[in-house]
Amino acid sequence: MSPQFQRLVDRRPALSADELLDGFRPSERFGEVSFDTYRPDPAQPSQAQAVAELQRFAGSVSGPGSGGKGGGFFSRMFGGSSGAAKGSKQGIYLDGGFGVGKTHLLASLWHAVPGPKAFGTFVEYTNLVGALTFPKTVQALSQYTLVCIDEFELDDPGDTVLMSRLMRELSDAGVKLAATSNTLPGSLGEGRFAAADFQREIQVLADQFEVLRIDGEDFRHRGLPEAPASIADEAIEATVEQRFDGKVVAMDEFSELVEHLSVVHPSRYRHLIKDLEGIVWRNVHTVDQQALALRLVVLADRLYDRDLPIVASGTSFDEVFTPEMMAGGYQKKYYRAVSRLTALAREGMSDRA
């Protein structure tokens, strides 16, 4: 049976606020994980300690606004005492390298506590604010028991101030917060902008979390995986027929897709790829406009969440961003996107149907 072809460029998902918020849950990769399914490395005691601390933290989440309005850590920062004893903070922060299970643990925390609750990446929350407006985002999330922020990273001053304000509002409403990152809270933003000019916001963020360091092998030092060789465009149809027999697949000209991303809000990318079983991009090329490149990063994250295999012709994914981008302030985002697109391309080239 031949693949059922669609085009992403024909999709313009329109979602209500409730539909957007409903997407703030762990991806299929972490849809059924728990603290019991996490396997701590016996050689890394910090991993087992992190599980115990997160279980304790989960027990402190008892219902919407469980921290008590007015008693959040931001109110203490700006209006009262400057700190709190260990264990009394509203936030918990998982720091460690790639591949130590931080997202697994964050998703396990989400599964362990009562709702309503939210789980999303840092960029998904900033995009949510862009889609709903700041007041409506605060109003919606203030009713939640827990807000989980995966891949916490501050890339520009605007995001620093935005997340500082959002966390202050949520904390003051008694919402518990949990985050993961590869950067300690006090180092967020380093090398990306004039951090000293925003030290107040950065320090506010740093003082909010009980930090749990999770040790283990750090895959950041392995560099990028080698991307599979690109397919000649004249051979792509035969490859797609074999790889996606009977599946629902989106096939797009890469240049048209990249332009289409500029007219679809990133908060809707999850729904842009809904119900698909594969992705085909023809004539992939290097993206040299940073605004479009960052939108491609978001799409790569959503594709990786869904584990959608990619078959592509043209430039290999290790050259999809310019050398200047790969060496610039957003390099962590671009390296992650290349790694994830490469993994999906390898899946697309596998023999499994």
Q: Are residues 230 and 210 in the same domain?
A: no
Q: Is residue 200 part of a domain?
A: yes
User: Model confidence at 205, in pLDDT bands (50, 70, 90)?
Assistant: low
Q: Does the residue 24 lie in any domain?
A: no
Say if pTM beats, i.e. exceeds, 0.85.
no
Place of tokens 């920062």: 77
The pLDDT > 70 percentage for the chain reads: 80
Q: At 155, which amino acid appears?
A: D
Is residue 353 domain-resident? no
Per-chain mean pLDDT for the chain? 82
The tens digit of pLDDT for each residue in 39-64 reads 988 989 999 999 999 999 999 887 66
Beta bridge partners of 219: none
Expressed as residue numbers, the domain containing 237 is 4-13+223-348
Question: Residue 194 — very low, low, confident or very high, per pLDDT cuts 50/70/90?
Answer: very low
Tell me, what's the pLDDT at 199?
Answer: 57
Tell me: do 61 and 94 sit in the same domain. yes
Edge to edge, the sheet with strand 209-213 lists: 117-121, 146-150, 176-181, 91-95, 209-213
* Last residue of one domain, picked from the residues 198, 219, 240: 219
97 plus 152 within the same structural domain: yes
Q: What is the pLDDT of residues 128-152, one digit of tens each?
A: 998 899 999 999 999 999 999 998 7
CATH number for 88: 3.40.50.300
What would the two tokens of residue 314 be?
Answer: 């043209």
Burial of 146 (0-12, 13-18, 19+ CB in 10 A): buried
**Cis peptide preceding 116, ω within 30 of 0:** yes
* pLDDT digit string, tens, across residues 320-339: 999 999 988 788 889 889 98
Ordered DSSP codes for 77-138: HHHS-S---TT--SEEEEE--TTSSHHHHHHHHHHHS-SSEEEEEHHHHHHHHHHH-HHHHH
In a domain, 27, yes or no: no
- First-to-last C-alpha distance (Å) of the chain: 12
Cα 281-285-286 angle, rounded to 5 deg: 135
What residues have CB less than 8 Å from 300, skipping those under 6 apart?
336, 337, 340, 341
- Considering its fold, how many domains does the chain have in total? 2
Q: At what angle do helices 45-59 and 102-112 cross, to 10 degrees?
A: 20
